[in-house]
Amino acid sequence: MNLKLPYRIIMLILPLIIIASCSGPAAQVRTATAEKGDIYSYLSTTGTIMTVNRQVYGYQGQVDKVSIGLGDRVEQDDVLVTYRNGYVMRAGFGGTITALNVSDGMIDTATQPAVILEDLDDLKVQIRVGKTSIGQIKTGQKVIVTEKTDIDIESEISFISPVASAASSSSGANIAVVVEYSLGEHSQHFLAGFDIEADILIDTAEDVLKIPGEAVMYEAGGQTYVYTVENSRAKKVFVEIGIDALSEVEILSGLSAGDVVILGAGSGITEGIMVKQP
């Protein structure tokens, strides 16, 4: 009996089986091309609008006369409240009376501010930045206000608290670092007390190789890779990334300009699989 014949038949059929298994329906994929360009990384924030100049007045004694009303505009040195013992409370700067808790003839026990004076024409924003992000924040960084307005508003980080502090919230104590920026000449478009959204530019690079962020995949060990398309097949390529701006990622090594990468590659995309681009 010739045992070599079945072996030869198997060896002839095996390549056909392999070819057939690799030439099934191509997976439909979305792709993008690695290209040179600028990349910007932002930290999105929500802060509280506050007045730059705010003075709280208090005194203990019997009030003689209150010379202002809630919401009144006063100038520096204007008389606010006089007391029976001759003490006169005067405005330290020009502004608006935003709180008034005394009246003629009453006994002021100083358990709450008698008057609060604020300059509503000069506003700042205070945000609280947690420990995972505070290392990225520096004074002088550009701030772009993203709140819906009919004008473009830019500012810069003007103050970073040297220590973290706690503030109560619905989820408990929030320990963070206070960071501030000014609204300057745009203060007239906002009201103190409201929240405001803005992006802080934390990193930038010019003329670098970049791809969409959704093309980057992560292995269990933290290595980053992408799937490229070569000859209509997926190819796994390990890459080194730089600035990660979420929507875009800087590629330091592993790719070249013009390489085609697969976006949002799921578990169905593996090395060597046939793929089809739109």
Same domain, yes or no: 65 and 201: no
Same domain, yes or no: 47 and 160: yes
The answer to whether position 131 is within a domain reads: yes
- What's the token pair of residue 166? 């706690």
The answer to whether position 244 is within a domain reads: yes
pLDDT band, very low/low/confident/very high, at 119 (cuts 50, 70, 90): very high
Q: What is the pLDDT of residue 131?
A: 93
The tens digit of pLDDT for each residue in 201-253 reads: 999 999 999 999 999 999 988 899 999 999 999 999 999 999 999 899 999 99
What number of other Cβ atoms are within 10 A of residue 174's Cβ? 14
Same domain, yes or no: 190 and 82: no
**Could you tell me the sign of the dihedral formed by the alpha carbons of 190, 193, 196, 200, in that order?**
positive
Same domain, yes or no: 125 and 46: yes
Beta bridge partners of 65: 82
- CATH code of the domain containing 95: 2.40.50.100
The tens digit of pLDDT for each residue in 62-96 reads: 999 999 999 999 999 999 999 999 999 999 999 99
**Could you tell me the sign of the dihedral formed by the alpha carbons of 229, 230, 233, 237, in that order?**
negative
Beta bridge partners of 42: 201
The answer to whether position 10 is within a domain reads: no
Residue 9 has pLDDT above 60, yes or no: no
At which of 118, 147, 170 does a domain end? 118
**Going by C-beta distance under 8 Å and a sequence separation of 6 or more, which residues neighbour residue 132?**
none
What number of other Cβ atoms are within 10 A of residue 72's Cβ? 14
Same domain, yes or no: 29 and 80: no
The answer to whether position 6 is within a domain reads: no
At which of 205, 229, 262 does a domain end? 205
Whole-number Å distance between alpha carbons of 183 and 101: 29
Q: What is the pLDDT of residue 246?
A: 86
DSSP reduced 3-state for 164? strand
Q: Is 105 exposed, middle or buried (0-12, 13-18, 19+ CB in 10 A)?
A: exposed
Strands 27-28 and 275-276 turn out to be parallel
Whole-number Å distance between alpha carbons of 152 and 222: 39
Whole-number Å distance between alpha carbons of 177 and 243: 24
Measure CA 128 to chain center.
12
Q: What is the pLDDT of residue 23?
A: 54
Same domain, yes or no: 46 and 168: yes
Q: Which domain holds residue 189?
A: 42-51+121-205
Total domains, the chain: 3
First to last CA, the chain: 55
DSSP reduced 3-state for 81? strand
At which of 83, 118, 153 does a domain end? 118
Q: Is 232 exposed, middle or buried (0-12, 13-18, 19+ CB in 10 A)?
A: exposed
Residue 190 has pLDDT above 80, yes or no: yes
Q: In whole numbers, what is the pLDDT of the chain averaged over residues?
A: 90
The answer to whether position 223 is within a domain reads: yes
Higher pLDDT, residue 22 or 173:
173
Same domain, yes or no: 125 and 171: yes
Q: What is the pLDDT of residue 58?
A: 95
Q: What is the pLDDT of residue 13?
A: 44
What number of other Cβ atoms are within 10 A of residue 81's Cβ? 24
Higher pLDDT, residue 228 or 24:
228
The tens digit of pLDDT for each residue in 91-116 reads: 999 999 999 999 999 999 999 999 99
Q: What is the pLDDT of residue 170?
A: 66
Same domain, yes or no: 236 and 147: no
- CATH code of the domain containing 152: 2.40.30.170
Same domain, yes or no: 112 and 165: no
The tens digit of pLDDT for each residue in 162-187 reads: 999 998 766 667 899 999 999 999 99
**Going by C-beta distance under 8 Å and a sequence separation of 6 or more, which residues neighbour residue 111?**
none
Same domain, yes or no: 164 and 33: no
